Structures are given as C-alpha cells and as structure tokens.
Structure 1
Amino acid sequence: MRLILMRHAKSDWADASLSDHERPLNARGRRDAPRIAGWMEEQGCQPDFLLSSDSKRTRETAAFLNSRWGTPVPSFFSSDLYLATASMIFQMIRSTEEWLPETNREPGNAPETLLVLGHNPGISSAASELLDHACGFPTAGLAVFDCQISSWAEALSPKNCQVWKEIRPKQLP
C-alpha cells in the first residue's frame, strides 16, 4: 500500500479579515498544485482516496489536484485534520475505511494509495515520524511512502513504511 503525506499549496494572506480556516490559495498555490498533481500522475502515484482538512486552502488544493487528474478522486474533508497533530493524522489514517463512500466499503476495496492533505506542523511531524528523522514540508510538498501493511487500520511506523519519493514544487521543471 502507498501513503502520500502532502501539505496544502501556498495560501493567500492578503485579506486580514479572513480567519485562518478561510484563507484561499494565492497565485503560486494555484500554479503549484496542478504541477504536483502532474508529477504524481507521471510517477504512477495518483491516489485512490483523499483524506483532507476541511480548510478552504486544502479544499482548493484538492480541487486543483483533481482537475489535473481528470477523474475526481473520492475524498473526505474533515475538521479533525485542520491543524491536526501527527497522532491525530495517524488516527484518521487508521479510520480510513470509515470515510470511504458506501460503494467502497466492501472487503478488499480499501484504497491502495491514500493521500492525506493537511497543514504544518502536523503533516511534517507525521512524515518525520515515518522517516525517523525531522523533516519540513514547504507548501505543496509531499512524501510518498511504500507501506508493508494489509489494511489502513494497522499502525504505521518506520519499520513498515519506507519513503519512496519526496518532492517539492521547486524541484519540478
């Protein structure tokens, strides 16, 4: 199974009247999200399911990813992932099957590739735990892990998850 941990694309700070939760993407974020989606598609790691924070910037990032892929990826947006800690992110991952659409809840229909879209510091902390060393994600940065598990309900650790790729928008042509 494959896990992708991704930070939302760059958000806009221009309107000080907006709450943090309601901040949209800025021009760079709207440019980087489809580029990262293209890289994911080219690398064969487009997700089967997306777990995301329900903030405006993560919803917009997800929309830009999906627009690049053509076929929308089934998604679940949760306030529990808004500014979630690493332990909360892992708890949401273990509960993945609860968030699947009814048609995907049949045994054996669990997503093979799961994308978790969130915020720092939690998303970087979760990646750091799996990497077994500290890392930081810039906006629209991600890490792809190959996980030797048979179900998302299993606990993830450096022992059963190896990083396959890490990418940042600045690394793309």
Structure 2
Amino acid sequence: MKKLSLLRHAKSGWDDPVSRDFDRPLNDKGKRASKAIGAFIKDNDLAYDQILASPAVRVIETLEHVEEACGLSMEPTWDRKIYLASSATLLDVLRGANADAEHILMVGHNPGLEDLIFDLVPDDGSSEARDAVEQKYPTAALAEMNLDIESWEDIAENSGMLVRFTRPRDLDPELGPDYS
C-alpha cells in the first residue's frame, strides 16, 4: 500500500505583468491559502517521503508558504514534465518515483491533477470526496489517496481510493470563492 497526495498550486496573480504563464506568482489569497494548507498538514501530522513538483513560480511559492506554516522541510524534486502535464504524464512521473517512498506529495496544475484523481479512483458512487473533486478542484486543494500497489512502477488506473479532499475554504471560509 502506497499513499499519494496531490496539491494544486495556490491562486496566482493574472494581473502580474509577467511575459510567460510559467512565471506567474501567487496573489495574496494564494499565499493565505498555502499557509492554511500548511497548517492543516501540521495539525494532521502529515509527512511525505518524496515531493515531486512542477518548477513553475506559483508552485515554488505555494511550497514555500506551506513549508513556513507546517514547519516541515520541503525539498522537492523539481520536474518540468509536471508543468501543465496530462494525467498520463503524471502517471509516468510517479512510476519513476523513489522506490522506498511510502507517501508522495505531487504539486502541480489542473486539469492534470484532477484527471489523475479520476483515473486512479473508480467512480463507484461511494466517495463523497471524489464527488467534491468532480464539482471543482480549486487552487491549493489537497487530495489524499491510498493506492493498492506495492511499487510505484505498478501505479495504474483504478488502483486508488480517495480518503480525504481538503479545500482552503474548508479551513477558512474567507478563502472560498465568494471572497477576494
């Protein structure tokens, strides 16, 4: 049994005058949401054996704020393949993960992360968490799955069970869609 957590980067600033999407930084709401998720990680004693992350600026900044709030040392493996990746590409990245890692945190972008959940977790109507992801996988949301695999090389469709889906607004209503 392996565990996989997926963290979508926090809200970035579209009004920032950067020339490339890759370089967009977090906005203030994204910084607050990252810290809320970091506090959640600390409060729930979550720990990761390996962190795989997109090197986009908004992912780097998300992890910096999560690290600050949770007190864990976040030393990700930066992988350009994760940037705006499809579910299939994310599966390939996971198949190359550290064999000794029991719990991996992958930090990246939608729609790839959301699609990865749908590919890994069967739609059998029994998961309220999966239903919540179907409604929306917002920025800075953290999805946690148990995978019925012994090795990361064996990760495949329908091998997971979504055990928890935490959105920033679940932790602080001011981080919901009705607030700026």
Report matched runs for 1:140-155 at 5 Å: 140-155=140-155
Distance 2:166 2:94 in 1: 21
Distance 1:66 1:29 in 2: 14
Distance 1:172 1:28 in 2: 13
- Cα-Cα RMSD: 1.7
Contact persistence 1:96–1:152 (CA under 8 A): yes
Tell me the TM-score normalized by structure 2: 0.82
1:78 Cα deviation (Å)? Answer: 1.3
Distance 1:63 1:117 in 2: 12
Distance 1:11 1:139 in 2: 9
Contact persistence 2:31–2:65 (CA under 8 A): yes
SS, match of residue 46 in structure 2: coil
Answering whether residue 45 of structure 2 is matched by residue 44 of structure 1, we say yes
The residue type equivalent to 2:167 in the other structure is R
Distance 2:18 2:151 in 1: 43
Q: 1:17 to 1:61 in 2, by over 3 A?
A: closer
Q: 1:71 to 1:56 in 2, by over 3 A?
A: same
Answering whether residue 160 of structure 2 is matched by residue 161 of structure 1, we say yes
SS, match of residue 90 in structure 1: helix
Report matched runs for 1:1-20 at 5 Å: 1-20=2-21
SS, match of residue 152 in structure 2: coil
Distance 2:148 2:82 in 1: 24
1:71 Cα deviation (Å)? Answer: 3.1
> Between the two proteins, what is the percent identity of the paired residues?
29
SS, match of residue 29 in structure 2: helix
Moved more, 14-23 or 30-39: 14-23
| Equivalent residue pairs, number | 161
Distance 2:150 2:45 in 1: 20
- Cα distance per residue 1:19-55 (max 9 Å; x no partner): 1000000001110111112212222323222101110
The residue type equivalent to 1:142 in the other structure is L
Structure 2, unpaired ranges of 5+: 124-132, 173-180
1:148 Cα deviation (Å)? Answer: 2.2
The residue type equivalent to 2:122 in the other structure is D
SS, match of residue 96 in structure 1: coil
Report matched runs for 1:108-147 at 5 Å: 110-133=100-123, 135=134, 136-147=136-147
What residue is the counterpart of 2:78 in the other structure? 77
Structure 1, unpaired ranges of 5+: 98-108
Tell me the TM-score normalized by structure 1: 0.86
Contact persistence 1:51–1:76 (CA under 8 A): yes
1:7 Cα deviation (Å)? Answer: 0.7
